[in-house]
């Protein structure tokens, strides 16, 4: 549906140039969203896919691995890191063992992203509503180290920015001036919190994402935080219990269409076109994640069967397997602490699991060895094939 310009333009002067900034009208759109039968069906399917994802997420021992898997793939896709340089194993080594030799800068951003998401989840569980204060807190973690560290983490911007282009004159879009951010974000917060009226959560996540990107309230990290906002919204309204929906890969793969839609919404008010794209992204991503989670579950069950054959030490080996489902790269020391088994038992279990092909030793060293749950990791690596 075509509407008029979704806000107003004002003249500004920045870095010595005159230009026009855009101040969005508050959500929800006026006139309201027109649900064609096609759009309604897409959203029904998207909610079903999220429901399946939520169910399957409860089967996994540790969903943060999923988040690493996706964030890493996204970083590879945006050429921020070389695919070959920072494998999922590198990332896990960095996270879990702080191993030297892992390309630190490459994985730092991925690590920040996961930390920011975990922090947001923790605050929601503590009962904090999804509000601007929380978004600022999450932003400060997102930009705490690496790219964007100098860009005032945790604070709304105090200067004019623009998107695309080397200067305001050739920018793709100029977000609102800094003095309007508080007001724009205040109104977005009310919309997110269903004030004055409730919006169905998936529609709300889709609309809020665009509005957040249009306001572009921070100097950097708006894309990342705007994508986190989607997942956090679904979690805060209990549609997802774990933050398993990660749309970035889809957005990045369809970058041009995604950017075009952000502009189209603003200029023509065609929110329905954006909603259709958003629902496709949810359906594709959720279905793919469900497939990966199911493969992981099948593998862990098949391996548990094999472990049963170990007879005398099978009980201990099951404990090791369980620990490595949570942390698929682990040292014998960590496994000992985690399982409370004797060191000698841990070592003999690892030897047997290696013979079965379930774990692989990574270092080739005699001391300070590290083991990986190889097939588990490789399913995770596969789990982010690019959308068509
Ligand atoms: N024309 C546009 N209108 C509104 N928002 C846009 C437009 N083009 C891009 N964006 C948004 O701006 C984001 C980039 O902003 P920013 O550089 O602050 O974020 P980032 O997190 O550092 O980068 P990235 O999203 O690439 O990871 C994009 O991800 C997209 O969501």
Q: Both 276 and 331 in a single domain?
A: no
Final residue belonging to a domain, choices 247, 276, 291 = 291
Are 150 and 113 part of one and the same domain? yes
Is residue 216 annotated as part of the catalytic site, yes or no?
yes
In this prediction, residue 102 carries a pLDDT of 47
Asked whether residue 347 carries a pLDDT value surpassing 90, the answer given is yes
Phi, psi of 165 (to 5 degrees): 90, 160
Q: What is the pLDDT of residue 326?
A: 82
Last residue of a domain, one of 291, 321, 341: 291
pLDDT tens for 276-306 read 999 999 999 999 889 988 998 899 999 999 9
Task: Output DSSP code: residue 6.
Answer: S
Report CA(233)–ligand 1 centroid distance (Å): 19
Residue of 262, 268, 277 to test ligand 1 pocket, by largest number of atoms within 8 Å of CB:
262
Averaged pLDDT score across all residues of the chain = 89
Per DSSP, helices labelled H in the chain are 37-57, 64-77, 88-92, 104-125, 132-142, 181-192, 201-215, 222-236, 248-253, 255-268, 271-308, 314-326, 332-339, 343-355, 374-382
pTM reported for the whole predicted model: 0.90
Q: Does 68 show up as a binding residue in the annotation?
A: no
Residue 373 lies in a domain: yes
The interface predicted TM-score (ipTM) is: 0.97
Nearest atom within ligand 1 for CA of residue 172: 1
Q: What local confidence, expressed as pLDDT, does residue 384 receive?
A: 54
Query: Which element (helix H / strand E) includes 14?
Result: strand 7-14
Whether residue 100 is predicted with pLDDT greater than 50 in this model: the reply is: no
Residue nearest to atom 24 of ligand 1 (CA): 223
| Model confidence at 98: pLDDT above 60 | no
Residue 33 is part of a domain; what is its CATH number?
Answer: 1.10.3290.10
Domain that holds residue 45: 7-291
Give the integer Cα–Cα distance in Å for 189 and 210: 14
Say what the pLDDT of residue 387 is.
Answer: 57
Q: Which of 291, 316, 349 is the last residue of a domain?
A: 291
**What number does the ligand 1 atom closest to the CA of 226 have?**
31
Cα 115-121-122 angle, rounded to 5 deg: 90
Give pLDDT tens digits for 202-221. 999 999 999 999 999 999 99
Return the sign of the alpha-carbon dihedral for residues 128, 243, 109, 160.
Answer: negative
Per-residue confidence band for 145, with pLDDT thresholds at 50, 70 and 90: confident
Pocket flag, ligand 1, residue 173 (CB < 6 Å): yes
- 263 lies in some domain: yes
347 and 260 housed in the same domain: no
Q: What is the tally of structural domains in the chain?
A: 2
Query: Residue 224 domain-assigned?
Result: yes
Atom 28 of ligand 1, nearest CA residue: 223
364 annotated to a ligand binding site: no
């Amino acid at each position: 549906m075509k509407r008029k310009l979704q806000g107003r333009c004002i003249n500004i002067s920045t870095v010595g140039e005159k230009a026009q900034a855009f101040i969005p009208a508050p959500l929800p759109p006026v006139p309201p969203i027109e649900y064609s039968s096609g759009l309604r069906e897409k959203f029904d399917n998207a909610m079903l896919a999220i429901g399946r994802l939520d169910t399957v997420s409860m089967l996994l021992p540790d969903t943060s691995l999923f988040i690493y898997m996706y964030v890493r793939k996204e970083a590879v896709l945006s050429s921020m890191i070389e695919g070959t340089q920072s494998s999922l194993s590198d990332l896990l080594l960095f996270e879990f063992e702080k191993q030297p030799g892992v390309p630190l800068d490459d994985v730092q951003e991925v690590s920040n992203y996961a930390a920011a998401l975990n922090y947001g989840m923790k605050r929601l569980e503590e009962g904090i509503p999804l509000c601007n204060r929380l978004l600022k807190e999450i932003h400060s973690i997102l930009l705490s180290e690496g790219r964007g560290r100098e860009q005032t983490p945790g604070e709304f911007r105090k200067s004019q920015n623009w998107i695309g282009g080397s200067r305001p004159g050739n920018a793709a879009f100029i977000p609102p001036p800094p003095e309007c951010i508080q007001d724009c974000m205040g109104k977005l917060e009310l919309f997110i919190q269903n004030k004055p009226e409730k919006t169905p959560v998936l529609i709300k996540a889709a609309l809020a994402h665009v509005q957040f990107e249009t306001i572009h309230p921070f100097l950097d990290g708006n894309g990342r935080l705007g994508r986190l906002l989607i997942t956090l919204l679904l979690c805060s309204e209990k549609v997802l219990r774990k933050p398993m929906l990660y749309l970035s890969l889809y957005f990045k793969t369809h970058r041009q269409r995604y950017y075009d839609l952000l502009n189209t919404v603003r200029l023509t008010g065609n929110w329905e076109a954006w909603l259709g794209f958003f629902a496709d992204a949810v359906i594709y991503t959720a279905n793919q994640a469900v497939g990966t989670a199911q493969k992981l579950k099948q593998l862990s069950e098949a391996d548990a069967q094999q472990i049963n054959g170990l007879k005398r030490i099978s009980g201990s080996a099951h404990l090791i397997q369980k620990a490595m489902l949570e942390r698929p790269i682990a040292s014998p020391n960590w496994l000992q602490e985690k399982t409370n088994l004797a060191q000698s038992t841990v070592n003999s279990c690892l030897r047997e699991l290696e013979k079965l092909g379930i774990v692989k030793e990574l270092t080739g060293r005699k001391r300070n060895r590290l083991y990986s749950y190889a097939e588990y990791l490789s399913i995770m690596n596969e789990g982010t094939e690019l959308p068509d």
